[in-house]
Structure 1
């Protein structure tokens, strides 16, 4: 018995349909089925009467179907345009299906900024910096582009945000640009966009003519008088002692306010600030002069037995603005950090101590990489002599009539 053979499958003869459907047909057809418009585009009419667009397409050698949306939300003309765009992408080796999935799941700029903030936050030692970083975007950027997909933000959008403040608030504008650039750089790294719109905008915005504003500081010859003024003021004892300790040690305000007794070696006269509390993220040993040790004894008598050396009202560390406010009330034209500058000017102008000793006293990093690689000492004993000379200088000026 001879079995019948199936005829070989062949492509349909004749020309393929091209724009076979009309708007009137699409609007009125009711019989369920698929109706070919040409180039792989079909109108899918369901038994319920609803209609939608289907495109048959080969993507990287694999035949698949893409849904292009329902009618009448997507018209015949729009369906043809979508189908043509998909064929063009597929012909060039792309994947329109993957592109669409990526677009549908694309995070907004705000969502991306939140992800970047959470990613960077563990590396920041300052909680205030973390707050300011995000708050600046919420204030100046998110109202403009927060809801936009991060892939759609353009250089024009960035310029529109920065241009009004680029010259009026130069420092704020620069920081905003850095933070927006960090968000966009993350998007580039994650494959969400091909470029960073924060680049190449400098020539459009123009050069900033602002000058660096240094923190207010006193000439070193007026520091002793400032200490006397603070001592005679009505400020809280703990704040006044913290200020004088800050001046004598040439340290930063946050380092003094956060100091705890376990960091102090009274017998050796050393205050060891752990790396996590320093700006340079390196342990810093501070030699304590005789007057600095006296201040510690005074604050111990004032203390409540807690771990904080200079406690606030409820035993917590002093507030960030406590010393600043003390200086303002006392009408001293300087900020806490400015007294480091006063100390540095004194060391350069009034002493023969080497520059590297003064820089080490301020816990500044060695800029020269070769020098930093070979320097294995913190010059502690030489710094002790420097800090002793600083206290002697202040004491002598205080005792002058």
Structure 2
């Protein structure tokens, strides 16, 4: 079918059972192909040598009719000059979506072990809104609008993370010659961050353990194990059965999942082992905590809200359980450098030159500390059970 294409006519094109094509009489060679799913793609047909060829120009309405005609005329001009437009060297891709993809592949992945978080933030906050725009058109007010949106929905610290990741993206773009200046220049983090010092009291731990007893797998065991081991949420969520040595009563967090990039050995107390004994094991699945059997546990926010409701306190986070464990061991007179070893911190009393020469791993001290802490949690757990 041949018609003079218009924007109104393009909008009116309906999908059919089979794919069909409408040719433009205004710009010879230009056509729009409509798929059964309703996707409308501009193409230009041309003859190069003895072959009839087709080149995709873009999807409507991501590119307008006038832009498609300009691209088709440009392609035909190259044909007239004796070159195949489909084989011309591609111009750099400046769309936000394409630039973010390249940034993640070339910069974030090789340098940042938590590149997936950067990808998630940039994709949700930047690509979802400006994905098809030229990144050189992104201005300061666009970044401010994104951060203000995060603050308005209560994600104050997330607004800071957005600014940090967008700033890295544009600094990389400056290095690559994609943009001349960054729209983040002069912008300050919208929220002043304060280090949390929240830790749960004994009464709150009892209430939490009671709530976990009333919950179901995986959070019934997962949350108490956060308390018992003092490890990070992400490390425990990705725990594998193959990493646990039940004979030696240890859990090895591999270097690729450890925050400081070094393998970490966690002694498992009797209390921790009792919790693991409750966990079901699925055939052909190495994850300890999983609901899909092909990926680690998720749904942390939903579970946290459920536990808040059950405990009557909504001012604690999962990471506060790690701080609670450290505080509990300190209260039991465990030496600070042993607690640092349990937490797998690089800081602490043994650092600098001393850390280079001191290779003693304090395994016995770590085990004693976690056993004492586990016994303490066991007593609190008994209180929680008695109050059910």
- Given the two structures, how large is their TM-score scaled by the length of structure 1? 0.60
Q: 2:237 aligns to what?
A: 257
- State the distance in 2 between where 1:165 and 1:307 align: 37
Instruction: Kindly indicate whether residue 385 of structure 2 is the aligned counterpart of residue 395 of structure 1.
Output: no
Match in the other structure for 1:63: none
Partner of 2:227, secondary structure, is helix
Say if 1:224 and 1:395, in contact at 8 Å, map to a contact too.
no
CA contact 2:159–2:190 (8 Å) conserved in 1: no
Q: Of residues 125, 131, 155 in structure 2, which corresponds to 1:136?
A: 125
The 3 A distance-change label for structure 1 pair 358 and 118 is same
Change (3 A) 1:392 1:169: closer
Measured after TM superposition, the shift of residue 284 of structure 1 is: 1.0
Once the two structures are TM-superposed, the CA of residue 236 in structure 1 deviates from its matched residue by 2.2
Q: Does residue 177 of structure 1 match 2:163?
A: yes
Q: Give the distance between the partners of 2:233 and 2:252, measured in 1 at CA.
A: 15
CA distance in 2, matches of 1:371, 1:249: 26
Distance (Å, rounded) in 1 between the aligned partners of 2:273 and 2:177: 57
Task: State how far apart, in whole Å, the 1-side matches of 2:346 and 2:369 are.
Answer: 18
1:266 maps to which residue?
A: 246
Q: Give the deviation of 1:364 after TM superposition.
A: 1.9
Q: Tell me the CA shift for residue 290 of structure 1.
A: 1.5
Alignment of 1:2-401 (within 5 A): 105=92, 107-119=94-106, 120-121=108-109, 123-125=112-114, 127=116, 129-139=118-128, 142=130, 147-148=133-134, 150=136, 158=143, 162=147, 170-202=156-188, 208=190, 210-212=192-194, 214=196, 217-231=199-213, 233=214, 235-299=215-279, 302-308=280-286, 310-317=288-295, 319-321=297-299, 324=304, 327-328=307-308, 330-331=310-311, 333=313, 334-348=316-330, 350-366=331-347, 368-399=351-382
Specify the alignment match of 1:72 in structure 2.
none
Give unpaired runs (5+ residues) of structure 2: 1-90
**Residues 126/284 of structure 1: CA separation in 2 closer, same or farther (3 Å cut):** farther
How far apart are 1:262 and its partner, in Å? 1.3
Partner of 1:82: none
Equivalent residue for 2:64?
none
Deviation, 1:332, is 5.7
Report the count of equivalent residues.
Answer: 289
> Cα–Cα, structure 1 residues 245 and 274, in superposed 2: closer, same or farther, change >3 Å?
same
Find the aligned partners of 1:374 and 1:388 in 2 and give their Cα distance.
Answer: 28
CA apart distance, 1:196: 3.5
1-structure distance, mates of 2:235, 2:354: 27
Deviation for aligned residue 1:238: 4.2
Residue by residue over 1:9-47, the C-alpha shift from the partner in whole angstroms, topping out at 9 and shown as x without a partner, is xxxxxxxxxxxxxxxxxxxxxxxxxxxxxxxxxxxxxxx
TM-aligned CA deviation for residue 270 of structure 1: 0.8
What CA distance in whole angstroms lies between the structure 2 residues aligned with 1:257 and 1:159?
34
Q: Check whether the contact 1:215–1:337 (CA below 8 A) recurs between aligned residues.
A: no
Q: Quick check: 1:263–1:272 contact (8 Å CA) kept in 2?
A: yes
CA deviation map 1:70-93 (0-9, x unaligned): xxxxxxxxxxxxxxxxxxxxxxxx
Cα distance in structure 2, aligned partners of 1:171 and 1:391: 33
**Counterparts in 2 of 1:305 and 1:332: CA distance versus 1, 3 Å:** farther
CA distance, structure 2, for counterparts of residue 275 and residue 171 of structure 1: 28
Following superposition, the deviation at residue 295 of structure 1 comes to 2.7
> Is the Cα–Cα contact under 8 Å of residues 93 and 99 in structure 2 kept in the other structure?
no
- Alpha-carbon separation, structure 2, partners of 1:242 and 1:160: 38
Query: Given the superposition, is the C-alpha separation of residues 355 and 109 from structure 1 closer, same or farther in structure 2, using an over 3 Å criterion?
Result: same
> Deviations for 1:229-269, whole angstroms, at most 9, x for unmatched residues?
422x1x32443123322221112233223222211111111
Q: Contact between 1:187 and 1:193, CA under 8 Å: does it hold in 2?
A: yes
Q: CA deviation at 1:307?
A: 3.9
- Tell me the equivalent position of 2:17: none
Shift of 1:271: 0.7
> Aligned in 2, Cα 1:352/1:370: closer, same or farther, shift over 3 Å?
same
**Is this contact kept in 1: 2:202–2:380, CA < 8 A?**
no
Q: Which moved more, 1:277-286 or 1:211-220?
A: 211-220
Contact 2:250 2:267 in 1 (8 A): yes
Residue 272 of structure 1 aligns to a residue in which SS? strand
Pairwise CA distance, 1:127: 4.0
Distance in 2, matches of 1:337 and 1:380, equals 24
